[in-house]
Amino acid sequence: MEVTAKMVSDLRKRTGAGIMDCKKALAEKNGDIEASLIHLREQGLKASEMKSNRDASEGLIISYIHSGSKIGSLLEINCETDFVARTEQFNELARNIAMQVAASKPKYLSKEDVSTEDLDTEKAILKQQLIDSNKPENIIDKIIEGRLSKYYSEVCLLEQTYIRNGDKTVQDLIQEAISQLGENIIIRRFELFILGQ
């Protein structure tokens, strides 16, 4: 099947990938846009995994203040070069994640950052709820593991559903930016400010 400029343009709009990458994906997948989309995402994930070990010490510290000035956030997001840090795409990513912090109020950056104390407390609460609802003892641990995923998606920034697209997590958003910008990107830290707290 012939790959047209319109097909390449459509795929590029949906993925943000380069023209040649889109053309190559469409050629490999016989013009099937959905299959090409999946192929590009897989390629992007592989590339971003390889980049995740690279040093990221450039970047931005960005703030977001919600209208009414009663809630705000401060975020440090890093990339590998000052060149990428100055791009509009990186700045937009930083703004969107700072807004996510203000809107979703995460306590931690990732699952690994959740304190043992908080995790033990959450497990104890979940276990007691399940015992009170007469769940069989042999499945309680499996149910707790499933519910911990929901807990992580509420308290960990990287696990949260992205507020502007319910099909993605914040981690997915960062992975897409890594594949498009070609550099490792990490969130170093964030702080949430709520007036009076």
Predicted TM-score of the model (pTM) = 0.69
- Which pairs count as long-range contacts for 147-153, CB under 8 Å and 24+ apart, including other chains? 148/119, 148/122, 148/123, 151/122, 152/111, 152/114
Q: Which two tokens stand for residue 22?
A: 């889109």
Indicate the domain borders of the chain: 5-51, 58-109+156-194, 115-154
pLDDT, one tens digit per residue, over 104-157 is 999 999 999 999 999 999 988 988 888 888 888 888 888 888 889 899 999 999
pLDDT, one tens digit per residue, over 51-78 is 555 667 799 999 999 999 999 999 999 9
- Rounded to the nearest angstrom, the gap between the alpha carbon of residue 18 and the centroid of all alpha carbons in its chain is 21
Question: Is the distance from CB of 87 to CB of 181 less than 8 angstroms?
Answer: yes
Structural class in CATH, domain 115-154: mainly alpha
- The hierarchical CATH code for the domain 5-51 is 1.10.8.10
Question: Is the distance from CB of 43 to CB of 15 less than 8 angstroms?
Answer: no
CATH fold, domain 58-109+156-194, is Tetrahydropterin Synthase; Chain A (3.30.479)
pLDDT, one tens digit per residue, over 4-47 is 878 877 777 676 666 777 788 888 888 888 888 777 777 665 55
Question: Is the distance from CB of 25 to CB of 40 less than 8 angstroms?
Answer: yes
- Per-residue pLDDT, 48: 47
Mean pLDDT of the chain: 86
